[in-house]
Amino acid sequence: MSEFRKELKYLPSHEWARVEEDGTVTIGITDHAQESLGDVVYVETPEVGADVNAGEEAGVVESVKAASDIFSPVSGVVIAVNEALGDAPETVNESPYDDGWFFKVKPTDLSELDDALDVDGYKAALEEDE
Amino acid sequence: MADTNSYSSDLKTTPLNELHEQLGAKMVPFAGYSMPVQYPKGVKTEHLHTRSSAGLFDVSHMGQVIVEGPNAASELEQLIPLDLEALAVGSQSYGLFTNDQGGIIDDLIIARWQQNTFFIVINAACKYKDIEHLRAHISESTITELTDRALLALQGPKAANVMQSICPQALQLKFMEFGEFTVQGESMFISRSGYTGEDGFEISVPAQLARSFAEHILSFDEVEPIGLGARDSLRLESGLCLYGQDMNDQTNVIEASLAWSIHKNRRANGSKAGNFLGADAIFAAQESGVSKKRVGLSVESKTPVRSGTLLVDANSQEIGEVTSGGFSPSLEKPIAMGYVSSDFAKVGTEIFALVRNKLIPVTIAKTPFVTQNYYRG
């Protein structure tokens, strides 16, 4: 059974977004996503300073099976990326909501996240997929 | 991210279908069958387990065909460039069904079971076309598809230890030998071969016994069930081709770098040269050279380079395409194979793969990528 976090916002494409106390947004992929991907072997994050747009691709996660695009839930400037994933991409499998985060964004408009799903909405979207 | 799972309701199943589901396999459509792509431990763990211990694979989707008759060897030799008349009873060989353009209809394993009886294992996706091909060209021998048998592969350095308990007589087999054995009162065809580069066995069992036999093999601590995902990464590390991906009916045998699979007696200068479909086209390609060749690719970056990726030279000119690629769990780096313009096919040549508009350095590499551990006695 996949783990979910109440405080996060979700995209139907299986990314999560967490609004931090300083107003920045941390982005990763969900527990369900890492489970269905299988062993993650490579993560390509955007570069620090790059602009990302809500709903547009911002990176790639590759498992032993396939490559999948990562979409950013918000628009803004990338202020940090998880460099540790370069040497330890399996962290995405082990800790998808904590150590396995992908990148942080300084958002231009936080209200974009109003369009994202809450935890119940994401669970419902997963059930529809089944 | 987006899910790519899609299921079709008219998929065939193997005799081990219920066992796969009980073992928690993730089932996917493959060549018209519902097949386990992985079990709960995942592709990487399954792969490494096969390299260090033993793995059990369900390959019952593959075709098992018997060709029988006093002239079976010579009839089959028109279709497969092997010296089947010289193949000893109890031996088997890798071979190709060639077409008259020198392309590849399928690759196969053919065993001489008895003097006049050959046992052939063909790819699942090619079964029907292969059998049609056999029927179109073979008039004297009988052709029988064995639809009531499952096929299991037990692979890995501990496979022989397990076989010792299941069928000790089979340990007399060396790599690429074949025999019929009686296990639990039933006839089993066992060969010492596989698709992983490891020592191991492929076992044809009556369908109604498949489940209890597979459960028996899985009851040994050394053995884990292994899905198609790890089967693919294991064969790629071992430099083995996947039909339909690394070669097809348009690929000349010489382009596919499979000239070695033509028995020396059937080559242009051999004692039984030619007289198989496409011989002229294959010998001509060998004589005049080919414009592209299949090569191994060592990826000098952490970025996996997958099937369909373009290969370019230092001037970004397209020189080829990747046909199989992925992460090698044994080497902990990406590896691939593909076709490059013959000018770039020499081992050590440095080229690039174009992944998401980035140039990933790639070196033409010798295959296999990992040492093969066959038991040669």
**By percentage, how much of chain B surpasses pLDDT 70?**
98
| CA–CA distance, A14 with B288 (Å, rounded to integer) | 53
Q: Check CB contact under 8 Å for A68 and B306.
A: no
Look-up: residue for tokens 């399996």?
A90
Residue B1 has pLDDT above 90, yes or no: no
Q: Spell out which residues of chain B touch residue A130, defining contact as CB-CB under 8 Å.
A: none
The residue among B357, B305, B371 whose CA lies nearest residue B336 is B305
pLDDT at residue number B120? 98
| CA–CA distance, A28 with A92 (Å, rounded to integer) | 8
Q: Check CB contact under 8 Å for A33 and B1.
A: yes
Task: Point out the residue among A14, A15, A39 whose CB comes nearest to the CB of B43.
Answer: A39
Q: How do residues B284-336 score in pLDDT, each as one tens digit?
A: 999 999 999 999 999 999 999 999 999 999 999 999 999 999 999 999 999 99
pLDDT at residue number A66? 84
Establish whether the linkage from the previous residue to A107 is cis, with ω within 30° of 0: no
pLDDT at residue number B5? 47
- Asked if B44 has any chain A CB less than 8 Å from its own CB, the reply is yes
Name the average pLDDT for chain A.
Answer: 95
Question: Nearest chain B Cα to A87, which residue?
Answer: B302
Residue B6 has pLDDT above 80, yes or no: no
Rounded CA Rg of chain A: 13
| CA–CA distance, B51 with B198 (Å, rounded to integer) | 7
Contact indicator for A58, A52 with CB cutoff of 8 Å: yes
How many CA atoms within 13 Å lie on the side-chain side of A17? Answer: 29
Q: Which range is least confidently modeled, B9-13, B25-29, B206-210, B238-242?
A: B9-13
Q: Check CB contact under 8 Å for B1 and A62.
A: no
How does DSSP classify residue B195? S
Residue B356: which region, alpha, beta or left (left: phi > 0; alpha: psi -120 to 50)? left
**3-class SS at B300?**
coil
Question: Nearest chain A Cα to B45, which residue?
Answer: A39
pLDDT at residue number A100? 98
Q: Which two tokens stand for residue B65?
A: 């065909």
| CA–CA distance, A70 with A82 (Å, rounded to integer) | 14
How many CA atoms within 13 Å lie on the side-chain side of A81? Answer: 20
pLDDT band at B9 (very low <50, low <70, confident <90, very high): low
CA dihedral defined by B107, B35, B294, A42, rounded to 10 degrees?
A: -170
pLDDT at residue number A101? 98
CB pairs under 8 A between A and B: 61
**By percentage, how much of chain B surpasses pLDDT 90?**
97
The residue among B80, B27, B23 whose CA lies nearest residue B56 is B23
Q: What is the 3-state secondary structure (H, E, C) of A15-70?
A: EEEEECCCCCEEEEECHHHHHHHCCEEEEECCCCCCEECCCCEEEEEEECCCEEEE
State which fold the B8-290 domain adopts.
Gyrase A; domain 2 (3.30.1360)
pLDDT band at B4 (very low <50, low <70, confident <90, very high): very low
Question: Nearest chain A Cα to B335, which residue?
Answer: A64
Residue type, B320: G
Q: Which two tokens stand for residue A100?
A: 């396995």
* Complex-level ipTM beyond the 0.95 threshold: no
| CA–CA distance, B195 with B238 (Å, rounded to integer) | 8
| CA–CA distance, A82 with A84 (Å, rounded to integer) | 5
Region B4-22 average pLDDT? 82
Task: Point out the residue among A14, A15, A67 whose CB comes nearest to the CB of B304.
Answer: A67
Contacts of B110 (CB under 8 A, 6+ apart): B76, B80, B82, B84, B87, B92, B93, B95, B118, B119, B120, B121
**By percentage, how much of chain A surpasses pLDDT 90?**
93
Region B77-81 average pLDDT? 98
Residue B349 has pLDDT above 70, yes or no: yes
Q: How do residues B176-200 score in pLDDT, each as one tens digit?
A: 999 999 998 999 999 999 999 999 9
Contact indicator for A31, A3 with CB cutoff of 8 Å: yes
Contacts of A111 (CB under 8 A, 6+ apart): none
Selected for mutation to probe chain B from A64, A117, A126 (highest B CB count within 10 Å) is: A64
What phi, psi does B18 have (nearest 5°)? -65, -35
Q: How do residues B258-277 score in pLDDT, each as one tens digit?
A: 999 999 999 999 999 999 99
Q: How do residues A36-77 score in pLDDT, each as one tens digit?
A: 899 999 999 999 999 999 999 999 999 988 899 999 999 999
Residues of chain A numbered 13-52 and touching chain B (CB < 8 Å) = 13-15, 29, 33, 36-39, 41-42, 44
Contact indicator for B69, B53 with CB cutoff of 8 Å: no
Task: List C-alpha distances in Å: A127 to A32, A37, B28.
Answer: 12, 18, 19
Q: Taking the domains of chain B in order of start, what are their residue ranges?
A: 8-290, 291-368
pLDDT at residue number B3? 47
Contact indicator for A31, A126 with CB cutoff of 8 Å: no
The residue among B94, B88, B117, B90 whose CA lies nearest residue B106 is B94
Residues of chain A numbered 58-117 and touching chain B (CB < 8 Å) = 60-62, 64-71, 86
Q: Spell out which residues of chain A touch residue B1, defining contact as CB-CB under 8 Å.
A: 13-15, 29, 33, 37, 61, 68-71
Question: Nearest chain A Cα to B334, which residue?
Answer: A41
Name the average pLDDT for chain B.
Answer: 96
Contact indicator for B91, B141 with CB cutoff of 8 Å: no
Q: Check CB contact under 8 Å for B229 and A60.
A: no
Residue B7 has pLDDT above 80, yes or no: no
CA distance A64 to chain B (A): 6
State which fold the B291-368 domain adopts.
Elongation Factor Tu (Ef-tu); domain 3 (2.40.30)
pLDDT at residue number B184? 86
Region A96-124 average pLDDT? 97
Instruction: Find the angle CA(B308)-CA(B312)-CA(B314) to the nearest 5 degrees.
Output: 160
Q: Spell out which residues of chain A touch residue B27, defining contact as CB-CB under 8 Å.
A: none
Question: Nearest chain B Cα to A60, which residue?
Answer: B1
